[in-house]
Amino acid sequence: MFNYSMLPEHMRGGAQRWIENGILPGSFMTAVLQNNLTEALNRADSINKERLHDIVAFFYNEAPSACWGSPEQVEEWRKKFQGKEDE
């Protein structure tokens, strides 16, 4: 469905849980999702600093546009999944 292989290996699970289940990832990826790239760079490990372009390209090209882009969109995406874990 989504080409998670575009992401560094250690970031794939967090991205998948976010997109498919609305589970917020760690602080680095949350900053990316919120389009706060200054904060993302401050929180990135050495691999993510090197691969930030690929990570942003993944969300731009692969992920649903509603799941990222601003703090408000991230919150709306998260709310979309609330209560579904009981189903």
- What's the chain's average pLDDT? 95
DSSP structure string for 56-86: HHHHHHTS-GGGSSSHHHHHHHHHHHTTGGG
Residue extents of the structural domains in the chain: 4-74
Q: What is the pTM of this model?
A: 0.91
Q: Please enumerate in sequence order all residues whose Cβ is within 8 A of that of 17, keeping only pairs 6 or more positions apart, or say none.
A: 23, 25
* Residues 73 and 35 sit within 8 Å (Cβ to Cβ): no
The neighbour count for residue 1, using CB atoms within 10 Å, is 7
* 30 neighbors 73 (Cβ within 8 angstroms): no
- The pLDDT tens digits for 29-50 are 999 999 999 999 999 999 999 9
